[in-house]
Amino acid sequence: MRDPDGLIARAGVRGDPDRDQHFLVDDRVLDRLPTYLEAIDADTSHLLEIGGGTGALTDRLLAVGDEVTVVERDRDLAEFLREEFADEIAAGELTVIEGDALAVDLPDFTASVSNLPYGVSSEIAFRLFPEKKPLVLMFQQEFAERMVAEPGTSEYGRLSVSSQHYADVELVESIPKEAFDPQPAVQSAVVRAVPREPDYTVADEDFFLRFVKAVFTQRRKTVRNAIRNTAHISGLGEPDAVVEAADEELLRKRPDAMAPAEFAVLAGLAWDVGEPET
């Protein structure tokens, strides 16, 4: 395997915290990341990596995947990856896409393992979730804890409901700052997401996620008041009609006590009687 520090030296770059560039340099962590896919017997025939950096993780993914596509927005780093992995590219094993992961066309990948840029990690995660593929993604620790949080805990919120709508999410490893160069200000964590259909149905997925977002802007209020106070966010034309149709027990709860399936019930009512914008 290529040495992470050697890759940085050959690239002639330094990570830039202001641009979310923290290179993962701990060999043990790098070696473990692909194993979180292997543990669930995921299809590794085409792996996607967001934020390739200098290629330390790319190198590990090439060892387990038949094909790897890496997306890198930094022009100099993308060029370095093309030079460093010229043989793998020539063999058809690696494709380097230069561009913003939120804007480029993604390939038909089978799974993703990525050390995400923290500033846009939420946006990237929710671009990947609807693809319904296994994901092993690195986030800030606090963000990861919110993704996997259970109802009734202080960490539970919109991010928890939205993530768990798409997949079984699990925090599989916490990563110390010392594993990166330069060191970030916070600890990191790895989340594994295994796609599955939720145990409830929603009439319109975009509206469901918008409704959850709206209600959680008033997490300290009762659900009754949150629905009425956030119609400008959820797009409900008749929030009072939703309140009148909903079960009193649900309406008395606070949003952070509601399971995803309970949000689905309320969102279904809101879709049916609340006259939402479409």
Annotated binding site: 22, 24, 51, 72, 100, 115
**DSSP conformation class of 73:** -
Chain centre to alpha carbon of residue 221? 28
Handedness of CA 171, 174, 179, 185 (dihedral sign): positive
Nearest to 172 by CA among 134, 207, 209, 201: 134
Terminus-to-terminus CA distance in the chain, angstroms? 51
Contact call for residues 134 and 40 (beta carbons, < 8 A): yes
Contact call for residues 156 and 149 (beta carbons, < 8 A): yes
Alpha-carbon distance 254 to 262, whole Å?
Answer: 12
Contact call for residues 77 and 37 (beta carbons, < 8 A): no
Helix (H) or strand (E) segment spanning residue 182: none
Beta-sheet strand order (sheet of 188-195): 94-98, 67-72, 46-50, 111-115, 135-140, 188-195, 167-175
Give the annotated binding-site residues for S-adenosyl-L-methionine: 22, 24, 51, 72, 100, 115
